[in-house]
Amino acid sequence: MRRRDFFTSSLQGGALLAIGSQVSACTQETSAATESAPSSVAPFELDEKTIADLQTAQEEGTYTARQLTQLYLDRIEAIDRNGPTLRSVIEVNPDALKIADQLDKERKQKGPRGPLHGIPVLIKDNIDTADSMRTTAGSLALAEHVAADDAFIIKQLRLAGAVLLGKTNLSEWANFRSTHSSSGWSSRGGQVRNPYATDRSTSGSSAGSGAAAAANLCAVAIGTETDGSILSPSSINGLVGIKPTVGLLSRSGIIPISKSQDTAGPMARTVTDAALLLSALTGIDPKDSATAGQQSYPDYTKFLDIDGLKGATIGVERSYFGYSEQVDALMEEVIKLLRKMGAQVIDPAPIDPTIQFGEDEFEVMLYEFKDGLNAYLATLPAKAPVRSLKDLIAFNQANKDKMMPFFGQEILIMAEKKGPLIDKAYQKAWANCRRKSRELGIDATLQKYKLDALIAPTDTPGWVIDHITGDHYLMSKASYSIAAVAGYPGISVPLGQVMGMPVGMSFFGTAYSEPTLLKFAYAFEQAQQARQAPTFRASAG
Protein backbone atom coordinates (compact mmCIF):
# COMPACT_ATOMS: atom_id res chain seq x y z
CA MET A 1 0.00 0.00 0.00
CA ARG A 2 1.26 3.46 -0.92
CA ARG A 3 1.45 5.10 2.47
CA ARG A 4 3.22 8.20 1.17
CA ASP A 5 0.18 9.23 -0.91
CA PHE A 6 -2.09 9.05 2.13
CA PHE A 7 0.36 10.84 4.40
CA THR A 8 0.87 13.66 1.92
CA SER A 9 -2.86 13.97 1.33
CA SER A 10 -3.67 14.06 5.03
CA LEU A 11 -1.12 16.79 5.68
CA GLN A 12 -1.93 18.93 2.65
CA GLY A 13 -5.55 18.18 2.38
CA GLY A 14 17.42 -22.44 0.57
CA ALA A 15 16.73 -23.19 4.21
CA LEU A 16 15.43 -20.92 6.91
CA LEU A 17 18.19 -18.50 7.79
CA ALA A 18 19.12 -18.01 11.42
CA ILE A 19 17.73 -14.72 12.67
CA GLY A 20 21.15 -13.38 13.57
CA SER A 21 22.51 -14.01 10.10
CA GLN A 22 19.37 -12.45 8.57
CA VAL A 23 19.95 -9.21 10.40
CA SER A 24 23.57 -9.03 9.33
CA ALA A 25 22.81 -10.00 5.75
CA CYS A 26 19.91 -7.61 5.29
CA THR A 27 21.87 -4.71 6.77
CA GLN A 28 24.71 -5.33 4.33
CA GLU A 29 22.31 -5.87 1.46
CA THR A 30 20.22 -2.77 1.96
CA SER A 31 23.22 -0.49 2.35
CA ALA A 32 24.32 -1.66 -1.10
CA ALA A 33 20.96 -1.59 -2.86
CA THR A 34 22.27 0.20 -5.92
CA GLU A 35 25.53 -1.73 -6.35
CA SER A 36 25.99 -3.47 -9.66
CA ALA A 37 24.63 -7.00 -9.95
CA PRO A 38 25.32 -9.58 -12.64
CA SER A 39 23.42 -8.91 -15.86
CA SER A 40 23.87 -12.48 -17.09
CA VAL A 41 21.81 -15.24 -15.50
CA ALA A 42 21.85 -18.79 -16.82
CA PRO A 43 18.65 -19.98 -18.52
CA PHE A 44 16.28 -22.03 -16.37
CA GLU A 45 14.42 -25.04 -17.72
CA LEU A 46 11.16 -23.90 -16.10
CA ASP A 47 11.34 -20.31 -17.36
CA GLU A 48 7.88 -19.00 -18.30
CA LYS A 49 6.26 -22.39 -17.76
CA THR A 50 2.55 -22.14 -17.07
CA ILE A 51 0.47 -24.19 -14.67
CA ALA A 52 -0.84 -26.14 -17.67
CA ASP A 53 2.72 -26.82 -18.82
CA LEU A 54 3.72 -28.11 -15.39
CA GLN A 55 0.57 -30.17 -15.07
CA THR A 56 1.13 -31.79 -18.47
CA ALA A 57 4.75 -32.53 -17.55
CA GLN A 58 3.58 -34.37 -14.43
CA GLU A 59 0.92 -36.28 -16.32
CA GLU A 60 3.40 -37.37 -18.98
CA GLY A 61 6.07 -38.26 -16.44
CA THR A 62 8.55 -35.62 -17.61
CA TYR A 63 8.67 -34.20 -14.09
CA THR A 64 7.32 -35.22 -10.71
CA ALA A 65 6.07 -32.66 -8.19
CA ARG A 66 9.23 -33.36 -6.21
CA GLN A 67 11.43 -32.60 -9.21
CA LEU A 68 9.57 -29.38 -9.96
CA THR A 69 9.86 -28.32 -6.33
CA GLN A 70 13.57 -29.11 -6.23
CA LEU A 71 14.19 -27.17 -9.43
CA TYR A 72 12.48 -24.09 -8.02
CA LEU A 73 14.36 -24.44 -4.71
CA ASP A 74 17.63 -24.65 -6.61
CA ARG A 75 16.72 -21.60 -8.67
CA ILE A 76 15.91 -19.65 -5.50
CA GLU A 77 19.34 -20.57 -4.15
CA ALA A 78 21.03 -19.61 -7.42
CA ILE A 79 19.54 -16.18 -8.13
CA ASP A 80 17.61 -15.13 -5.03
CA ARG A 81 20.22 -16.00 -2.40
CA ASN A 82 23.14 -15.60 -4.82
CA GLY A 83 23.78 -14.17 -8.29
CA PRO A 84 21.67 -11.02 -8.66
CA THR A 85 20.49 -11.66 -5.08
CA LEU A 86 16.86 -10.63 -5.50
CA ARG A 87 15.98 -11.34 -1.85
CA SER A 88 12.39 -11.96 -2.92
CA VAL A 89 11.98 -15.18 -0.90
CA ILE A 90 12.23 -14.57 2.83
CA GLU A 91 12.04 -18.26 3.75
CA VAL A 92 11.76 -21.56 1.92
CA ASN A 93 9.49 -24.25 3.30
CA PRO A 94 11.57 -27.05 4.88
CA ASP A 95 8.59 -29.34 4.29
CA ALA A 96 8.18 -28.52 0.60
CA LEU A 97 9.79 -31.70 -0.73
CA LYS A 98 7.86 -33.83 1.72
CA ILE A 99 4.59 -32.25 0.55
CA ALA A 100 5.60 -32.85 -3.06
CA ASP A 101 6.37 -36.51 -2.33
CA GLN A 102 2.94 -36.99 -0.78
CA LEU A 103 1.27 -35.39 -3.79
CA ASP A 104 3.25 -37.57 -6.20
CA LYS A 105 2.10 -40.65 -4.31
CA GLU A 106 -1.50 -39.44 -4.36
CA ARG A 107 -1.34 -38.75 -8.10
CA LYS A 108 -0.27 -42.34 -8.75
CA GLN A 109 -2.96 -43.77 -6.51
CA LYS A 110 -5.95 -41.50 -7.17
CA GLY A 111 -4.99 -39.05 -9.90
CA PRO A 112 -4.62 -35.27 -9.53
CA ARG A 113 -6.96 -33.23 -7.35
CA GLY A 114 -7.14 -30.50 -9.96
CA PRO A 115 -5.03 -28.01 -11.93
CA LEU A 116 -2.90 -26.99 -8.92
CA HIS A 117 -1.92 -30.53 -7.93
CA GLY A 118 1.85 -30.56 -7.38
CA ILE A 119 2.26 -26.91 -8.43
CA PRO A 120 4.81 -24.92 -6.34
CA VAL A 121 3.36 -21.64 -5.00
CA LEU A 122 5.01 -18.84 -3.02
CA ILE A 123 2.96 -16.84 -0.51
CA LYS A 124 3.52 -13.47 1.10
CA ASP A 125 4.95 -13.46 4.62
CA ASN A 126 1.92 -11.83 6.22
CA ILE A 127 -0.25 -14.91 5.66
CA ASP A 128 -0.45 -17.51 8.43
CA THR A 129 0.79 -21.04 7.81
CA ALA A 130 0.56 -23.64 10.59
CA ASP A 131 3.79 -25.41 9.66
CA SER A 132 7.52 -24.93 10.10
CA MET A 133 7.53 -21.46 8.56
CA ARG A 134 7.24 -18.15 10.39
CA THR A 135 4.65 -15.46 9.74
CA THR A 136 6.33 -12.13 10.42
CA ALA A 137 5.11 -9.34 8.09
CA GLY A 138 8.83 -8.91 7.48
CA SER A 139 9.49 -7.75 11.03
CA LEU A 140 12.12 -9.15 13.39
CA ALA A 141 9.61 -8.42 16.14
CA LEU A 142 7.76 -11.56 14.97
CA ALA A 143 10.87 -13.52 13.97
CA GLU A 144 9.88 -16.54 16.07
CA HIS A 145 6.13 -16.40 15.39
CA VAL A 146 4.71 -19.68 14.10
CA ALA A 147 0.97 -19.48 13.45
CA ALA A 148 -1.31 -21.87 15.31
CA ASP A 149 -3.57 -22.34 12.29
CA ASP A 150 -3.49 -21.87 8.52
CA ALA A 151 -5.12 -18.81 7.05
CA PHE A 152 -8.33 -19.82 5.29
CA ILE A 153 -6.83 -19.23 1.83
CA ILE A 154 -3.88 -21.47 2.78
CA LYS A 155 -6.30 -24.24 3.72
CA GLN A 156 -7.89 -23.81 0.31
CA LEU A 157 -4.49 -23.92 -1.36
CA ARG A 158 -3.54 -27.13 0.43
CA LEU A 159 -6.89 -28.70 -0.50
CA ALA A 160 -6.17 -27.87 -4.14
CA GLY A 161 -2.94 -29.86 -3.92
CA ALA A 162 -0.46 -27.01 -4.25
CA VAL A 163 3.06 -27.24 -2.86
CA LEU A 164 3.77 -24.40 -0.42
CA LEU A 165 7.26 -23.56 -1.63
CA GLY A 166 8.01 -20.77 0.80
CA LYS A 167 7.21 -17.21 1.81
CA THR A 168 8.04 -14.00 0.04
CA ASN A 169 9.70 -10.89 1.36
CA LEU A 170 7.60 -7.73 1.58
CA SER A 171 7.61 -4.12 2.65
CA GLU A 172 7.63 -4.45 6.44
CA TRP A 173 4.11 -4.33 7.92
CA ALA A 174 2.85 -4.16 4.33
CA ASN A 175 4.40 -0.68 3.97
CA PHE A 176 2.24 0.85 6.68
CA ARG A 177 5.10 1.94 8.92
CA SER A 178 6.87 5.05 7.67
CA THR A 179 6.15 8.13 5.58
CA HIS A 180 9.37 7.65 3.57
CA SER A 181 10.01 3.93 3.41
CA SER A 182 11.56 1.98 0.56
CA SER A 183 9.13 -0.53 -0.96
CA GLY A 184 10.32 -4.10 -0.59
CA TRP A 185 12.54 -3.52 2.45
CA SER A 186 12.00 -5.41 5.68
CA SER A 187 14.12 -5.82 8.79
CA ARG A 188 13.87 -9.59 8.42
CA GLY A 189 14.48 -9.95 4.70
CA GLY A 190 16.39 -6.89 3.50
CA GLN A 191 15.72 -5.17 0.19
CA VAL A 192 13.90 -6.94 -2.65
CA ARG A 193 15.34 -6.13 -6.06
CA ASN A 194 13.59 -5.89 -9.40
CA PRO A 195 14.63 -8.75 -11.73
CA TYR A 196 14.42 -6.48 -14.78
CA ALA A 197 17.01 -4.08 -13.35
CA THR A 198 18.29 -4.84 -9.89
CA ASP A 199 18.77 -1.21 -8.88
CA ARG A 200 15.05 -0.60 -9.44
CA SER A 201 12.11 -0.86 -7.05
CA THR A 202 9.56 -3.65 -7.24
CA SER A 203 6.95 -1.30 -5.72
CA GLY A 204 4.11 -2.19 -3.40
CA SER A 205 4.25 -4.27 -0.26
CA SER A 206 3.89 -7.51 -2.28
CA ALA A 207 7.38 -6.84 -3.59
CA GLY A 208 8.74 -10.33 -3.01
CA SER A 209 5.73 -12.04 -4.60
CA GLY A 210 6.11 -9.78 -7.64
CA ALA A 211 9.85 -10.26 -8.07
CA ALA A 212 9.71 -14.01 -7.41
CA ALA A 213 6.90 -14.74 -9.86
CA ALA A 214 8.50 -12.50 -12.50
CA ALA A 215 11.86 -14.23 -12.05
CA ASN A 216 10.31 -17.72 -12.39
CA LEU A 217 11.11 -18.75 -8.82
CA CYS A 218 7.65 -20.36 -8.57
CA ALA A 219 4.72 -21.19 -10.79
CA VAL A 220 2.50 -18.50 -9.23
CA ALA A 221 2.50 -16.35 -6.10
CA ILE A 222 0.02 -14.81 -3.69
CA GLY A 223 0.20 -11.18 -2.64
CA THR A 224 -2.02 -8.94 -0.55
CA GLU A 225 -3.33 -5.45 -1.24
CA THR A 226 -4.73 -2.57 0.73
CA ASP A 227 -4.11 0.08 -1.91
CA GLY A 228 -1.90 -0.93 -4.83
CA SER A 229 0.19 -3.68 -3.28
CA ILE A 230 -0.86 -6.34 -5.80
CA LEU A 231 -1.53 -4.21 -8.87
CA SER A 232 1.49 -1.91 -8.69
CA PRO A 233 4.18 -4.62 -8.23
CA SER A 234 2.41 -6.72 -10.88
CA SER A 235 2.72 -3.83 -13.33
CA ILE A 236 6.31 -3.03 -12.44
CA ASN A 237 7.37 -6.71 -12.55
CA GLY A 238 5.63 -7.63 -15.80
CA LEU A 239 2.89 -9.76 -14.22
CA VAL A 240 -0.84 -10.27 -14.23
CA GLY A 241 -2.21 -9.27 -10.83
CA ILE A 242 -5.77 -9.68 -9.57
CA LYS A 243 -7.01 -7.49 -6.73
CA PRO A 244 -10.34 -9.18 -5.96
CA THR A 245 -13.50 -7.65 -4.55
CA VAL A 246 -13.07 -7.40 -0.77
CA GLY A 247 -14.85 -10.47 0.56
CA LEU A 248 -14.18 -12.75 -2.40
CA LEU A 249 -11.17 -14.16 -0.55
CA SER A 250 -11.14 -14.65 3.21
CA ARG A 251 -8.89 -12.36 5.23
CA SER A 252 -8.75 -14.50 8.36
CA GLY A 253 -5.21 -15.45 9.24
CA ILE A 254 -3.69 -12.52 7.34
CA ILE A 255 -1.90 -9.80 9.31
CA PRO A 256 -4.18 -6.80 8.71
CA ILE A 257 -3.99 -3.16 7.78
CA SER A 258 -7.57 -2.26 6.90
CA LYS A 259 -10.64 -4.46 7.14
CA SER A 260 -12.32 -2.14 4.64
CA GLN A 261 -9.73 -2.67 1.93
CA ASP A 262 -7.50 -5.69 2.66
CA THR A 263 -7.56 -8.67 0.33
CA ALA A 264 -5.18 -11.34 -0.90
CA GLY A 265 -4.89 -12.07 -4.61
CA PRO A 266 -3.00 -13.93 -7.36
CA MET A 267 0.19 -12.73 -9.04
CA ALA A 268 1.11 -14.72 -12.12
CA ARG A 269 2.74 -14.57 -15.53
CA THR A 270 -0.50 -15.19 -17.45
CA VAL A 271 -4.18 -14.38 -17.02
CA THR A 272 -5.01 -18.08 -17.16
CA ASP A 273 -2.68 -18.92 -14.28
CA ALA A 274 -4.02 -16.01 -12.23
CA ALA A 275 -7.58 -17.25 -12.86
CA LEU A 276 -6.66 -20.81 -11.84
CA LEU A 277 -5.14 -19.59 -8.58
CA LEU A 278 -8.13 -17.34 -7.87
CA SER A 279 -10.45 -20.32 -8.39
CA ALA A 280 -8.63 -22.30 -5.71
CA LEU A 281 -8.64 -19.52 -3.10
CA THR A 282 -12.31 -18.51 -2.92
CA GLY A 283 -14.76 -19.84 -0.37
CA ILE A 284 -17.02 -18.81 2.48
CA ASP A 285 -15.16 -18.58 5.79
CA PRO A 286 -17.14 -18.43 9.06
CA LYS A 287 -14.28 -16.40 10.55
CA ASP A 288 -14.67 -13.63 7.97
CA SER A 289 -18.20 -12.26 7.68
CA ALA A 290 -17.32 -10.37 4.50
CA THR A 291 -17.22 -13.68 2.63
CA ALA A 292 -20.83 -14.55 3.49
CA GLY A 293 -22.25 -12.63 0.54
CA GLN A 294 -19.53 -13.40 -1.94
CA GLN A 295 -20.37 -14.16 -5.56
CA SER A 296 -17.72 -16.72 -6.42
CA TYR A 297 -17.17 -19.41 -9.04
CA PRO A 298 -15.32 -22.72 -8.74
CA ASP A 299 -13.55 -22.16 -12.07
CA TYR A 300 -12.80 -18.65 -13.28
CA THR A 301 -11.06 -19.94 -16.41
CA LYS A 302 -14.48 -20.57 -17.97
CA PHE A 303 -14.80 -16.81 -18.44
CA LEU A 304 -11.59 -16.50 -20.48
CA ASP A 305 -12.52 -15.68 -24.07
CA ILE A 306 -10.13 -14.64 -26.82
CA ASP A 307 -13.00 -12.66 -28.37
CA GLY A 308 -14.05 -11.28 -25.00
CA LEU A 309 -13.67 -7.62 -25.98
CA LYS A 310 -16.05 -7.90 -28.94
CA GLY A 311 -19.14 -5.87 -28.08
CA ALA A 312 -17.69 -4.62 -24.79
CA THR A 313 -17.99 -0.97 -23.77
CA ILE A 314 -14.75 0.23 -22.21
CA GLY A 315 -14.14 3.64 -20.67
CA VAL A 316 -10.75 5.37 -20.68
CA GLU A 317 -9.99 7.21 -17.43
CA ARG A 318 -7.51 9.84 -18.64
CA SER A 319 -6.90 11.50 -15.29
CA TYR A 320 -4.30 8.74 -14.74
CA PHE A 321 -2.40 9.71 -17.89
CA GLY A 322 0.30 12.36 -18.00
CA TYR A 323 2.90 10.78 -15.70
CA SER A 324 4.99 9.09 -18.40
CA GLU A 325 5.03 10.00 -22.09
CA GLN A 326 6.12 6.48 -23.00
CA VAL A 327 3.33 4.84 -21.00
CA ASP A 328 0.79 7.26 -22.46
CA ALA A 329 2.00 6.36 -25.97
CA LEU A 330 1.50 2.66 -25.24
CA MET A 331 -2.01 3.39 -23.97
CA GLU A 332 -2.90 5.30 -27.15
CA GLU A 333 -1.95 2.24 -29.20
CA VAL A 334 -4.01 0.03 -26.89
CA ILE A 335 -7.10 2.18 -27.41
CA LYS A 336 -6.73 1.59 -31.15
CA LEU A 337 -6.25 -2.13 -30.52
CA LEU A 338 -9.38 -2.39 -28.36
CA ARG A 339 -11.47 -0.80 -31.09
CA LYS A 340 -9.97 -3.16 -33.65
CA MET A 341 -10.95 -6.06 -31.37
CA GLY A 342 -14.58 -4.97 -31.47
CA ALA A 343 -14.87 -2.94 -28.28
CA GLN A 344 -16.70 0.36 -28.11
CA VAL A 345 -14.25 2.71 -26.41
CA ILE A 346 -15.64 5.75 -24.59
CA ASP A 347 -12.75 8.20 -24.43
CA PRO A 348 -12.64 9.93 -22.07
CA ALA A 349 -14.87 8.47 -19.39
CA PRO A 350 -13.77 10.43 -16.33
CA ILE A 351 -14.62 9.71 -12.75
CA ASP A 352 -15.82 12.97 -11.16
CA PRO A 353 -12.53 14.87 -10.70
CA THR A 354 -13.86 16.72 -7.66
CA ILE A 355 -13.96 13.49 -5.64
CA GLN A 356 -11.20 13.53 -3.04
CA PHE A 357 -10.87 10.78 -0.45
CA GLY A 358 -7.16 10.69 0.47
CA GLU A 359 -7.52 12.21 3.94
CA ASP A 360 -10.51 10.05 4.80
CA GLU A 361 -8.79 6.90 3.51
CA PHE A 362 -5.70 7.50 5.60
CA GLU A 363 -7.84 8.22 8.67
CA VAL A 364 -9.75 4.97 8.18
CA MET A 365 -6.52 3.02 7.78
CA LEU A 366 -4.98 4.43 10.94
CA TYR A 367 -8.02 3.42 12.97
CA GLU A 368 -8.43 0.01 11.36
CA PHE A 369 -4.74 -0.83 11.51
CA LYS A 370 -4.61 -0.25 15.25
CA ASP A 371 -7.81 -2.21 15.81
CA GLY A 372 -6.87 -5.12 13.53
CA LEU A 373 -3.23 -5.42 14.51
CA ASN A 374 -4.00 -5.33 18.23
CA ALA A 375 -6.52 -8.12 17.72
CA TYR A 376 -4.01 -10.20 15.75
CA LEU A 377 -1.08 -9.67 18.12
CA ALA A 378 -3.25 -10.40 21.17
CA THR A 379 -3.50 -14.01 19.98
CA LEU A 380 0.25 -14.51 20.25
CA PRO A 381 1.69 -16.39 23.25
CA ALA A 382 2.33 -14.41 26.42
CA LYS A 383 6.09 -14.79 25.92
CA ALA A 384 5.98 -13.10 22.49
CA PRO A 385 8.05 -9.89 22.36
CA VAL A 386 5.08 -7.88 21.03
CA ARG A 387 1.38 -8.39 21.72
CA SER A 388 0.06 -4.94 20.78
CA LEU A 389 0.84 -1.99 18.53
CA LYS A 390 2.21 -0.18 21.57
CA ASP A 391 4.59 -3.09 22.20
CA LEU A 392 5.69 -3.03 18.57
CA ILE A 393 6.55 0.66 18.68
CA ALA A 394 8.59 0.09 21.85
CA PHE A 395 10.34 -2.95 20.30
CA ASN A 396 11.32 -0.97 17.21
CA GLN A 397 12.68 1.86 19.33
CA ALA A 398 14.63 -0.50 21.60
CA ASN A 399 16.15 -2.20 18.54
CA LYS A 400 16.48 0.90 16.42
CA ASP A 401 19.74 -0.07 14.71
CA LYS A 402 18.17 -3.24 13.27
CA MET A 403 14.57 -2.14 12.88
CA MET A 404 14.98 1.43 11.65
CA PRO A 405 18.34 1.82 9.87
CA PHE A 406 16.81 3.77 6.97
CA PHE A 407 13.37 5.03 7.99
CA GLY A 408 11.21 5.31 11.07
CA GLN A 409 7.76 4.33 12.31
CA GLU A 410 5.79 7.55 12.00
CA ILE A 411 2.64 5.82 10.78
CA LEU A 412 2.69 3.30 13.63
CA ILE A 413 2.85 6.16 16.10
CA MET A 414 -0.02 7.99 14.37
CA ALA A 415 -2.14 4.83 14.46
CA GLU A 416 -1.46 4.22 18.16
CA LYS A 417 -2.96 7.62 18.96
CA LYS A 418 -6.32 6.66 17.43
CA GLY A 419 -9.28 5.50 19.48
CA PRO A 420 -11.77 2.65 18.92
CA LEU A 421 -13.84 2.15 15.78
CA ILE A 422 -16.88 3.65 17.50
CA ASP A 423 -15.24 7.10 17.28
CA LYS A 424 -17.28 9.55 15.22
CA ALA A 425 -14.16 10.60 13.29
CA TYR A 426 -13.68 7.04 12.06
CA GLN A 427 -17.33 6.49 11.24
CA LYS A 428 -17.50 9.72 9.24
CA ALA A 429 -14.29 9.00 7.32
CA TRP A 430 -15.40 5.44 6.52
CA ALA A 431 -18.80 6.60 5.24
CA ASN A 432 -17.15 9.28 3.09
CA CYS A 433 -14.79 6.73 1.56
CA ARG A 434 -17.59 4.36 0.62
CA ARG A 435 -19.87 7.03 -0.80
CA LYS A 436 -17.18 8.81 -2.81
CA SER A 437 -15.48 5.73 -4.22
CA ARG A 438 -18.60 3.67 -4.94
CA GLU A 439 -21.87 5.51 -5.64
CA LEU A 440 -20.26 8.85 -6.63
CA GLY A 441 -17.16 7.27 -8.16
CA ILE A 442 -16.85 3.96 -9.99
CA ASP A 443 -20.53 3.01 -10.03
CA ALA A 444 -21.63 6.48 -11.12
CA THR A 445 -19.11 6.50 -13.98
CA LEU A 446 -20.04 3.01 -15.18
CA GLN A 447 -23.71 3.97 -15.19
CA LYS A 448 -23.24 7.41 -16.77
CA TYR A 449 -21.33 6.08 -19.77
CA LYS A 450 -22.99 2.63 -19.81
CA LEU A 451 -19.61 0.94 -19.35
CA ASP A 452 -18.64 -2.66 -18.69
CA ALA A 453 -15.25 -1.58 -17.26
CA LEU A 454 -12.73 1.22 -17.03
CA ILE A 455 -9.09 1.12 -18.14
CA ALA A 456 -6.05 3.15 -17.08
CA PRO A 457 -2.28 2.77 -16.82
CA THR A 458 -1.50 0.80 -13.65
CA ASP A 459 1.74 2.59 -12.81
CA THR A 460 4.91 4.13 -14.18
CA PRO A 461 8.10 2.06 -14.62
CA GLY A 462 10.01 1.17 -11.46
CA TRP A 463 12.19 3.89 -9.94
CA VAL A 464 15.69 3.61 -8.51
CA ILE A 465 15.78 2.18 -4.97
CA ASP A 466 16.54 4.99 -2.53
CA HIS A 467 17.07 4.38 1.17
CA ILE A 468 17.81 8.04 1.88
CA THR A 469 14.57 9.70 0.76
CA GLY A 470 12.37 6.63 0.16
CA ASP A 471 10.14 5.70 -2.78
CA HIS A 472 9.79 7.94 -5.81
CA TYR A 473 6.20 7.42 -6.93
CA LEU A 474 5.62 9.47 -10.07
CA MET A 475 1.84 9.01 -10.15
CA SER A 476 0.51 11.48 -7.61
CA LYS A 477 -2.93 10.04 -8.39
CA ALA A 478 -2.78 6.25 -8.54
CA SER A 479 -5.24 4.53 -10.86
CA TYR A 480 -5.90 1.65 -8.47
CA SER A 481 -6.70 3.70 -5.37
CA ILE A 482 -10.38 4.36 -6.01
CA ALA A 483 -11.07 0.64 -6.56
CA ALA A 484 -9.10 -0.14 -3.40
CA VAL A 485 -11.16 2.28 -1.33
CA ALA A 486 -14.38 0.95 -2.84
CA GLY A 487 -13.35 -2.65 -2.23
CA TYR A 488 -13.90 -3.30 -5.94
CA PRO A 489 -11.80 -5.53 -8.22
CA GLY A 490 -9.00 -4.64 -10.60
CA ILE A 491 -6.74 -6.65 -12.89
CA SER A 492 -3.38 -5.43 -14.16
CA VAL A 493 -2.06 -6.97 -17.37
CA PRO A 494 1.34 -6.36 -19.01
CA LEU A 495 1.06 -3.40 -21.38
CA GLY A 496 4.63 -3.21 -22.71
CA GLN A 497 8.05 -1.98 -21.68
CA VAL A 498 9.74 1.39 -21.29
CA MET A 499 13.51 1.09 -21.75
CA GLY A 500 13.30 -2.55 -20.76
CA MET A 501 11.16 -1.95 -17.67
CA PRO A 502 7.63 -3.41 -17.61
CA VAL A 503 4.44 -1.42 -17.26
CA GLY A 504 0.85 -2.61 -17.04
CA MET A 505 -2.70 -1.58 -17.82
CA SER A 506 -5.57 -2.14 -15.42
CA PHE A 507 -9.22 -3.06 -15.94
CA PHE A 508 -11.55 -1.93 -13.14
CA GLY A 509 -15.20 -2.62 -12.45
CA THR A 510 -17.91 -2.81 -9.83
CA ALA A 511 -18.23 -5.37 -7.03
CA TYR A 512 -17.81 -9.02 -8.06
CA SER A 513 -17.17 -8.16 -11.70
CA GLU A 514 -14.14 -10.49 -11.79
CA PRO A 515 -15.67 -12.70 -14.55
CA THR A 516 -16.11 -9.69 -16.84
CA LEU A 517 -12.68 -8.25 -16.05
CA LEU A 518 -10.99 -11.62 -16.60
CA LYS A 519 -12.72 -11.97 -19.98
CA PHE A 520 -11.42 -8.57 -21.07
CA ALA A 521 -7.95 -9.07 -19.56
CA TYR A 522 -7.50 -12.42 -21.30
CA ALA A 523 -8.56 -11.12 -24.70
CA PHE A 524 -6.24 -8.14 -24.32
CA GLU A 525 -3.34 -10.30 -23.14
CA GLN A 526 -3.68 -12.65 -26.09
CA ALA A 527 -3.69 -9.75 -28.55
CA GLN A 528 -0.96 -7.64 -26.90
CA GLN A 529 1.46 -10.44 -25.89
CA ALA A 530 3.48 -7.90 -23.88
CA ARG A 531 4.97 -10.14 -21.16
CA GLN A 532 8.75 -10.51 -21.49
CA ALA A 533 10.96 -12.49 -19.14
CA PRO A 534 13.35 -10.48 -16.95
CA THR A 535 16.94 -9.79 -18.00
CA PHE A 536 18.50 -9.28 -14.54
CA ARG A 537 20.39 -6.18 -15.64
CA ALA A 538 22.29 -4.24 -13.03
CA SER A 539 20.67 -0.97 -14.07
CA ALA A 540 17.94 0.24 -16.40
CA GLY A 541 19.98 3.33 -17.23
Question: Where in the sequence numbering do the catalytic residues fall?
Answer: 124, 205, 229
Return the C-alpha torsion angle 516, 519, 524, 526, nearest 10.
170
CA–CA dist 179, 181 (Å, integer)? 6
Burial class (CB in 10 A: 0-12, 13-18, 19+), 179: middle
Amino acid at 525: E
Farthest-apart Cα atoms in the chain, separation: 63
Give the integer Cα–Cα distance in Å for 527 and 271: 12
The DSSP 8-state label assigned to residue 439 in this structure reads I
Amino acid code (one letter) for 271: V
Three-state helix/strand/coil letters over 43-77: CCCCCCCCHHHHHHHHHHCCCCHHHHHHHHHHHHH
**Residue 456, Cβ density class (10 Å: 0-12 exposed, 13-18 middle, ≥19 buried):** buried
Contact, 457 vs 328, CB < 8 A? yes
> 241 near 491, Cβ under 8 Å?
yes
Residues with Cβ within 8 Å of residue 111, at least 6 apart in sequence:
none
